Amino acid sequence: MGRIVVPEAEALLDQEIKVLDKGFVRLVDYMGGDQRIVQAARVSYGSGTKTYRQDRGLIHYLIKNWHTSPFEQVQLTFHTKMPIFVARQWVRHRTARLNEISGRYSVMKDEFYVPDPNMVSFQSSNNKQGRGDTLPFDEAKAIIDSMEAEQRAVYDNYTSMIDKGVARELARSNLPLSLYTEWYWQIDLHNLFHFIRLRADAHAQYEIRVYADALAECAKAVAPIAYEAFEEHILGSVSFSRAECEALNVMLAGGEPTMEERPLKAFLEKLEKVKSAVPATDLEEPAPPTA
């Protein structure tokens, strides 16, 4: 089989998907697609040996049953630009290859992330790492003005040191986490799905969720059937622990579950996801892999 060309992915190549105030995601290159996943699963050659319905059913079967290695055959390369604090969350996903702009070799640009006023919120009262209610507009605007003033002052000091001949690797050390950085990031489809599952979740920080959404748009273009199966069997699914299954049995018998506050809250959130599930349409029955 020659190089797989996916028209939807070709249309996205080198197109900036705008993210936050100054960031972006660009699909630079890709290798493979749905056909490559099917080929790898069947360990065969040539296209057209199975029908579209059979291929679709196979991909659904693979995702549903956690047969992940065929999805690792598909590679996507991105050029992304994000605030450093987003990059430090992003880089915790170690199953990728990246090359980041270096402040030792380059003078960093005067580009800092500034949130919209409606994203300036109080600390959550029940989530140590999350946001709560939004601040009143006037207070939010004052905080944003303060952030911008500090960013200007720090960058002016940085450029002053550069002008005096101070080494770039030292001059950069006081630049804040709101500074934008860029990198090339290459990852396989299986691990990209894992990234999206975690970072597009409602519990993730907003500033990385919007990047996960942009990456998802690219993944869907490269492998639309695989993304459909990912939405069906992973994003749209709920898994229960043993204790939660016991709680379900109690509820089905008409009782009330006895769990500590935090586990109970997580369990009830899962039940709400079940209640709010949107019925899937036009999905073929999963088919087992065939040679």
Residue in the structure block whose two tokens are 């990047």: 211
Residue 271 tokens, joined: 């039940």
Identify the active-site residue in 172, 199, 209, 262. 199
Active site residue 199: yes
Between the CA of residue 34 and those of 95, 149, 219, 235, what are the distances in Å?
21, 49, 11, 19
Interatomic CA distance for residues 265 and 253, integer angstroms: 20
Active site members: 199
